[in-house]
Amino acid sequence: MPSVKRIGVLTGGGDSPGINAAIRAIVRRAEPAGLAVVGFRDGWRGAVEDDLVPLGRSEVAGILHIGGTILGTSRTNPYEKDPATGTWTPTPKVDRILDTLNRRRVDAVLAIGGDDTLGVAHRLASHGVRAVGIPQTIDNDIGGTDYAIGFHSALAVVTEALDRLHTTAHAHHRVLIVEVMGRDAGWIAVLGGLAGGADVILAPEEPFSVPQVEEALQWRLDAGRRFSIIVVAEGARPLELGSRPVAEEARTDAFGHAQLGGVGYWLAAELEKTGLPLTPRVTVLSYLQRGGGATPFDRLLATRLGVAAVELACAGQYDAMVGFHGTDVGPVPLAAALAGCPKPVPREYLELARNIGVR
C-alpha cells in the first residue's frame, strides 16, 4: 500500500495541447492503486484559495482529445522576487497552500507546467510539500526532458501554417514574416521553420541583424526565387535593438516576464526601408499555437508522463520531475531540471538549418 492516499493535480502557466491527456492518465493510474485524486483550479491559485474539485474516472472521460485544461490555469505565484538578491521569498500565499494541503489531506501534488509552475513546486518542497513535476510548455525550454507536453502540437500548427503561407507568398512575390512563440528559446521557430521549409529562421539563440536578413532575401532574388518565408521567434533578438527582444507592453507577469510580441512587425518595417523589391507581410500565429487538440505524439507523451508521475509519488520520490529521454520516461531532480532552463535549441539543429541553405 502506498503511503500516499490522496493526490492533488494542478496545471499552471501557458496551457498547451496534451494537458488533459496527462490529467486523464493520472486519474486512470491512481484509481486502481487506491489513490484519490483532486484537482486544484487555475494552477497554484486553487491551492492558495482552497478551490478544488474531485477527479474520478467520470470527470476525465472524453477529455483525451480536447485542448486546454479542464482544471484551468493561471500564473499565480506564491513567491516574490527580492529585487536586490534575485531570490524568491515566500508570501502569505505559501502558508495558505500548506494549510489547504493539510486540511484537504493532500499527500502529494502533481504540478503540470513550465519552469515557473515547476519552480514553485521546487520551492514548496523546502516547506515540506511533496511535489512531482510534469513538464508542459509549447516553448519546450524546460531542462531535464527532451520534450515537454504541447511542443509537438505547436509544431504541427506552425508547419501547417507555413505550408499554407508558401502558396500565397509564391503567388504574390512577397516576403512573409511568420512570428511564432518562444520567449527564451527557439524550439518552435527552428524546428517549425525546418519542418515548414522556411528560408530564414530567427531564434533567440542567435541575435540577428537586418542586413543579414536583407542579404538572405537578396540571395534568393538573385537565384530567381521571387518570394521568401521568414520565421521569427517572439524572443528573437535584433542587434539593432541591443540584442534585446521586442516587448509588446511594459507590463510583466507575476514571474517577472515581459509580454513579448511585435518583432515580426518591427522586422517588416525595417525591411521596407531597404528598398528590396519584395512586399513584407506579417502573420502572428500567437495563441493558435497553444489551442486545439494534441497530436498523437503529445497524447502518448502526456499519458506516459502522467502515469510515471503517479508512480513516482507512490514510490516516495519527491522534488522531482518526470522527463522524456530518448525513448524512455524517467525521473530528474526538479533542481536539475530547473537549472537547465531555458533549454536552448541544440547547435545541431541550427547547423542543420545552415547546412541546407536556411539563413
Assess contact for 60 and 28: CB atoms under 8 A. Answer: yes
138 labeled part of a ligand binding site? yes
Query: Active-site residue 50, yes or no?
Result: no
287 labeled part of a ligand binding site? yes
Interaction of residue 108 with ligand F6P, rule CB under 6 A: no
DSSP 8-state assignment for residue 188: H
Pick one of 69, 77, 137, 295: the residue that binds ligand F6P (CB under 6 A).
137
Q: Which three cell numbers stand for residue 6?
A: 490522496
- Identify the active-site residue in 15, 42, 116, 139: 139
In 37-61, which positions are buried (b, 16+ CB within 10 angstroms) versus exposed (e)?
bbbbbbbbbbbbbeebeebeeebbe
Interaction of residue 260 with ligand F6P, rule CB under 6 A: yes
Cβ partners under 8 Å of residue 118, min gap 6: 111, 133, 135, 142, 321, 334, 337, 338
Nearest to 131 by CA among 22, 217, 44: 44
Interaction of residue 13 with ligand F6P, rule CB under 6 A: yes
Q: Where are the beta strands (DSSP E) in 243-327?
A: 247-252, 258-260, 279-284, 320-325
Assess contact for 337 and 142: CB atoms under 8 A. Answer: yes
> In the bound complex, which residue of the shown chain has the CB atom lying closest to ligand F6P?
14
Q: Which three cell numbers stand for residue 331?
A: 525521473
Interaction of residue 12 with ligand F6P, rule CB under 6 A: no
At closest approach, how far in Å is the CB of 120 from ligand F6P? 15
Stretch that binds ligand F6P, among 27-35, 178-186, 207-215, 239-247 (CB under 6 A): 178-186
At closest approach, how far in Å is the CB of 95 from ligand F6P? 26
Pick one of 24, 29, 183, 220: the residue that binds ligand F6P (CB under 6 A).
183
Stretch that binds ligand F6P, among 39-47, 59-67, 133-141, 193-201 (CB under 6 A): 133-141
In 81-101, which positions are buried (b, 16+ CB within 10 angstroms) versus exposed (e)?
eeeeeeebebeebbeebbebb
Pick one of 116, 139, 179, 319: the residue that binds ligand F6P (CB under 6 A).
139
At closest approach, how far in Å is the CB of 102 from ligand F6P? 31
Residue 186 main-chain phi, psi, to 5 deg: -100, 35
Task: Classify 30 as helix, strand or coil.
Answer: helix
Q: Of all helices (H) and strands (E), which one includes residue 301?
A: helix 296-314
Stretch that binds ligand F6P, among 103-111, 165-173, 179-187, 339-347 (CB under 6 A): 179-187
Total residues binding ligand F6P (CB under 6 A): 13
6 labeled part of a ligand binding site? no
What CA–CA distance (Å, rounded) separates 40 from 9? 6
Nearest to 340 by CA among 147, 82, 145: 145
Interaction of residue 135 with ligand F6P, rule CB under 6 A: no
Query: In the complex with ligand F6P, which residue's Cβ is closer, 30 or 198?
Result: 198
At closest approach, how far in Å is the CB of 157 from ligand F6P? 12
57 labeled part of a ligand binding site? no
Query: In the complex with ligand F6P, which residue's Cβ is closer, 47 or 260?
Result: 260
Cβ partners under 8 Å of residue 86, min gap 6: none
Interaction of residue 182 with ligand F6P, rule CB under 6 A: yes
Pick one of 12, 14, 18, 344: the residue that binds ligand F6P (CB under 6 A).
14
Pick one of 158, 181, 267, 308: the residue that binds ligand F6P (CB under 6 A).
181
328 labeled part of a ligand binding site? no
At closest approach, how far in Å is the CB of 194 from ligand F6P? 19
Return the active site residues: 139
Residue ranges at the known binding site for diphosphate: 14
Residues near ligand F6P (CB under 6 A) are: 13-14, 114, 137-139, 181-183, 234, 253, 260, 290
